[in-house]
């Protein structure tokens, strides 16, 4: 299989590229390196089946050229910054919505018939139902990030109906693991590296969140692509558990043998648009035979170990 991965130099993209190459597939990677890291591709570069195209998904011509001959597009390139949407409202629109529209247009121009898309549990806003299933009540968006991903989902579905392509939409919880370079474990680890005696927590620490280990996430994507064969395939991806931010802090501190004084910015959410409770119903993907191998706790510890062994990641952002 020839696979084009957008955002190949990112956390999930580079892990997926490695996996697909190990399985014997050909991978063309596409990345503008705005947040992607050259180092994340060092393993992929060792495979003859890997090709890298530098470019931006907002440049339709470059994207189309990179895509020619692909059997499948995995569209991961995105602005993944949920928290600061209000500071630059166009960024989510451009990179997540218009960028995804370009991916679909490039597919149409090249005749590529399948796409897998990284969406987010954030599109459920503040759900009325927990765990939240894929057909939850019509949600109200609470962040520019979520809105931009919802828009991209809708475009994928409309292209499927209008042009007959097959789409796979994955609504992720937060993903953890090797090459993780963004999010709460990253922020806490960096703080504790700078001042091991104190930790500032956004919100009251009681937010309930879900996390999934990156290799479990990749397993799920590959199983869905293999076993689910309707035109529009939508899957929540997460574990069957959640933790409080406080739990996560405890596991991180225990692993690091630290006992910092914790201060809280207060309130039941970390920032405007933060979701105080994320817990997805993943029975649809589990029904295909998938199950995560790591618990949230194991995923968090694995991530801290990665950051300990790769301190350069902390300097890059």
198/231 with CB nearer a second copy? 231
| Residue 105 CB neighbours (<10 A) | 15
Q: Which of 146, 205, 260, 292 binds a second copy (CB under 8 A)?
A: 146
Angle between helices 184-194 and 245-256 (to 10 degrees): 40
> Residue 89 — left, alpha, or beta (φ > 0 → left; ψ -120 to 50 → alpha)?
alpha
# residues near a second copy by CB under 8 A: 43
Q: Which of 38, 61, 161, 305 binds a second copy (CB under 8 A)?
A: 161
**Two tokens, residue 276:** 């105080």
Smallest separation, CB 153 to a second copy (Å):
8
- Nearest-angstrom CA–CA distance, 206 and 188: 15
Q: Hey, which residues between 69 and 98 contact a second copy (CB under 8 A)?
A: 85-86, 89-90, 93, 97-98
Asked if 154 interacts with a second copy (CB under 8 A), we say yes
Asked if 257 interacts with a second copy (CB under 8 A), we say no
Q: Which of 67, 80, 110, 234 binds a second copy (CB under 8 A)?
A: 234
- Nearest-angstrom CA–CA distance, 137 and 53: 40
Asked if 165 interacts with a second copy (CB under 8 A), we say no
CA angle, 171 as apex, 167 and 174 as ends, to 5°? Answer: 140
Asked if 273 interacts with a second copy (CB under 8 A), we say yes
Run of H or E residues at 53: strand 50-54
Point out which residues bind a second copy (CB under 8 A).
Answer: 85-86, 89-90, 93, 97-98, 101, 104-105, 108, 123, 125, 128, 134-144, 146-148, 150-151, 153-155, 157-159, 161-163, 232, 234, 272-273
């Amino acid at each position: 299989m020839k696979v084009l991965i957008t955002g190949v130099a990112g956390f999930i993209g580079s892990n997926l590229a490695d996996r697909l190459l190990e399985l014997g597939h050909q991978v063309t990677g596409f990345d503008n390196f705005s947040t992607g890291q050259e180092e994340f591709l060092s393993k992929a570069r060792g495979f003859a089946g890997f090709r890298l195209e530098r470019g931006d998904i907002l440049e339709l011509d470059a994207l189309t050229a990179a895509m020619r001959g692909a059997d499948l597009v995995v569209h991961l390139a995105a602005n993944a910054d949920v928290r600061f949407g209000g500071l630059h409202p166009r960024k989510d629109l451009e990179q997540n919505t218009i960028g995804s529209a370009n991916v679909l247009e490039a597919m149409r121009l090249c005749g590529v018939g399948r796409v897998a898309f990284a969406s987010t549990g954030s599109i459920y806003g503040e759900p009325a139902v927990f765990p939240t299933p894929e057909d939850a009540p019509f949600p109200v968006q609470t962040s520019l990030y979520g809105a931009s991903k919802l828009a991209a989902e809708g475009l994928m579905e409309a292209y499927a109906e209008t042009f007959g392509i097959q789409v796979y939409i994955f609504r992720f919880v937060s993903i953890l693991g090797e090459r993780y370079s963004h999010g709460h474990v990253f922020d806490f680890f960096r703080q504790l590296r700078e001042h091991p005696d104190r930790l500032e927590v956004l919100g009251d620490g009681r937010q309930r969140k879900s996390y999934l280990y990156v290799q479990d996430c990749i397993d799920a994507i590959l199983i869905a692509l293999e076993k689910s064969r309707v035109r529009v395939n939508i899957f929540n991806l997460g574990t069957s558990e959640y933790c409080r931010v406080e739990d996560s802090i405890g596991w991180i501190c225990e692993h690091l043998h630290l006992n910092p004084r914790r201060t809280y910015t207060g309130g039941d959410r970390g920032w405007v648009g933060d979701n105080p409770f994320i817990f997805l119903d993943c029975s649809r993907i589990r029904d295909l035979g998938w199950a995560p191998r790591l618990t949230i706790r194991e995923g968090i510890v694995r991530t801290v170990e990665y950051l300990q062994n790769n301190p350069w990641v902390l300097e890059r952002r």
